[in-house]
Amino acid sequence: MIYKDDPSAIAGFLEDTSNLKSGRTPGVFFPESVEEVADLLRNAVSDGRRYTIAGNGTGTTGGRIPFGDYVISMQRLDRIGEVEEVEGGLASIRVQAGALLQDLQTKAASAGWFYPPDPTEKTCFIGSTVANNSSGSRSYRYGPTRAHVRSILVALPQGDILDIPRGRYLADTDGLFTLDLPVAGKLSFMRPEYDMPETSKHNAGYWSASGMDLIDLFIGSEGTLGIILEAELQLRPAPEKVIACLAFFMSEGELLNFVEEARKGSGGVAPRAIELFDIRSLDFLRQSYARIPDGTAGAIYFEEESTESGEERCLEAWLELMDRCGAPADQSWAALDNDGLAGLREFRHRLPVLVNEWLSRQAESKVSTDMALPDSRFRELFKLYRNACDREGFTYIIFGHIGNAHLHLNILPRNRAEFDRAKALYRQLVSEVLAMGGTLSAEHGIGKLKSEYLVQMYGPKGISEMVRVKKAFDPYLVLNIGNLIPESFYESQT
């Protein structure tokens, strides 16, 4: 196994996209087999080592940044298996943790299949998307990564390798899991007792539900319970046609009405994505897309799957709805083929790129939210963010998954005083969203940056219940310490 400790070779492992600067590590291991990963963990206590798992570093929460621990990079475990047809007209594919999402999607597409999860950033590793339950615009229809994982192979913190197909390990009626493992021996622990929020996207803390499946505890656990080595993912037949459109609105009220009607399926529309670009996001994008109509109040991007024969009817339904909601077709950008679709997706991807370029010219980093409310409350979330930022006079943008009442607010401070005020506002918004029944994170996870706010979400009791689960798998605390669970909670609970 390759090991690197030359500072210039491992500097990249001290960062992700969070702007956390305090990472440090003695060195990085690059295992090339699942056994090598398990060996590292099996010997962690006798070697006196703790490990942080590294995916490809596109995470936004500092999850892969080590604070003094060794790093295990998953990049050499990157094999993608062959597509196999399974029951129900679906297919599956086995993928190692270090394979890129974009490579998996290309392979599935070339065989005529479709992997729905589509985080905007496609250069992430599959193992990370499972560990973080990543999602994207198509999650409006298809749900997050969790909904597409049939089975995982995991290296547990004491060195066991456990195969977890969906349906094999279920909590009993009291919520108790029992496992008998070669190295760790008998493990028995209760699932967390907290209730999860009623949002359609939620990625903050361990998943917990009555009669739950062990696989769902690992998905979204951000590497704190084990290392995802491989996953068997479910594929769907590729849709015959996809229509997509960017509809520009002249008033915010009409835009929000359109979202409401699209969510209801008004006139027979059946979107798989409903995404917002607020007026300030469009101002950013004008640098690259001068033809964005003047005077627009915002835009909604939507996609729907169709067939050759149904495409015309599908288009008519959308045009009728757009017309009714004040988004004239001649001012909208539609895509009816793959090139057009790729062009609109590039438009979406361009926004974070332009924001990052802007930030690179500033002294301060952005303050951003990833919170969601129950679906029907999308207007409240938008107005909460918009009104608060206008009151403060911030430079900001609001964009993202409005169909799931999940919006990203990026505050872009121009100086330290604004940054401090933005952080204070973030804290206030967290309190308000949680009080409204929302979630702290709908897709990016908690990592190291947001663990203090997780205490606000679940209370000390909820975090202690997570510690109980963590310690059942990782009694010597060797894996991804500092992620999700604030470290002080390990000390207070033995």
Ligand X SMILES: Cc1cc2nc3c(=O)[nH]c(=O)nc-3n(C[C@H](O)[C@H](O)[C@H](O)COP(=O)(O)OP(=O)(O)OC[C@H]3O[C@@H](n4cnc5c(N)ncnc54)[C@H](O)[C@@H]3O)c2cc1C
Which stretches of the chain bind ligand X, using CB under 6 A?
A: 16-17, 52-60, 63-64, 74, 97, 119-121, 124-125, 127-129, 131-132, 134-136, 222-223, 227-228, 352, 443-444, 447, 480, 483
The helix (run of H) or strand (run of E) holding residue 386 is helix 378-392
Answer left, alpha or beta for residue 427, where phi above 0 means left and psi between -120 and 50 means alpha.
Answer: alpha
The helix (run of H) or strand (run of E) holding residue 237 is strand 227-237
Interatomic CA distance for residues 360 and 365, integer angstroms: 8
Q: Are 71 and 27 in contact (CB under 8 A)?
A: yes
The helix (run of H) or strand (run of E) holding residue 86 is strand 84-86
The helix (run of H) or strand (run of E) holding residue 248 is strand 241-249
Q: Least separation, in Å, of the C-beta of 37 and ligand X?
A: 9
CB-nearer residue toward ligand X: 296 or 368: 368
CB-nearer residue toward ligand X: 168 or 349: 349
Q: Helices 451-473 and 416-435, interaxial angle, to 10°?
A: 60
CB-nearer residue toward ligand X: 125 or 177: 125
Taking the alpha carbons of 62, 450, 407, 21 in that order, is the dihedral positive or negative?
negative
CB-nearer residue toward ligand X: 119 or 192: 119
Interatomic CA distance for residues 58 and 64, integer angstroms: 9
CB-nearer residue toward ligand X: 214 or 314: 214
Six-digit token pair at 470? 């963590």
CB within 8 Å of 139: residues ≥ 6 apart: 116, 117, 118, 201, 401, 404, 443
Number of residue whose CB is nearest ligand X: 63
CB-nearer residue toward ligand X: 227 or 276: 227
Q: Least separation, in Å, of the C-beta of 372 and ligand X?
A: 12
- 3-class DSSP state for residue 446? coil
CB-nearer residue toward ligand X: 164 or 327: 164
Q: Least separation, in Å, of the C-beta of 325 and ligand X?
A: 26
Q: Least separation, in Å, of the C-beta of 403 and ligand X?
A: 13
- Which residue type occupies 24? R
Q: Least separation, in Å, of the C-beta of 223 and ligand X?
A: 3
Q: How far is CA 262 from the centre of its chain?
A: 24
Q: Helices 378-392 and 416-435, interaxial angle, to 10°?
A: 150
Q: How far is CA 268 from the centre of its chain?
A: 30
Radius of gyration, CA atoms only, the chain = 23
Q: Least separation, in Å, of the C-beta of 61 and ligand X?
A: 7
CB-nearer residue toward ligand X: 58 or 306: 58
Please, what's the b/e burial string for 379-401 (b: 16 or more CB within 10 A of its CB; e: otherwise)?
bbbbebbbebbeeeebbbbbbbb
CB-nearer residue toward ligand X: 136 or 438: 136
Q: Least separation, in Å, of the C-beta of 373 and ligand X?
A: 18
Interatomic CA distance for residues 409 and 396, integer angstroms: 7
Q: Least separation, in Å, of the C-beta of 77 and ligand X?
A: 8
CB-nearer residue toward ligand X: 37 or 321: 37
Q: Least separation, in Å, of the C-beta of 92 and ligand X?
A: 19
Q: Least separation, in Å, of the C-beta of 155 and ligand X?
A: 8
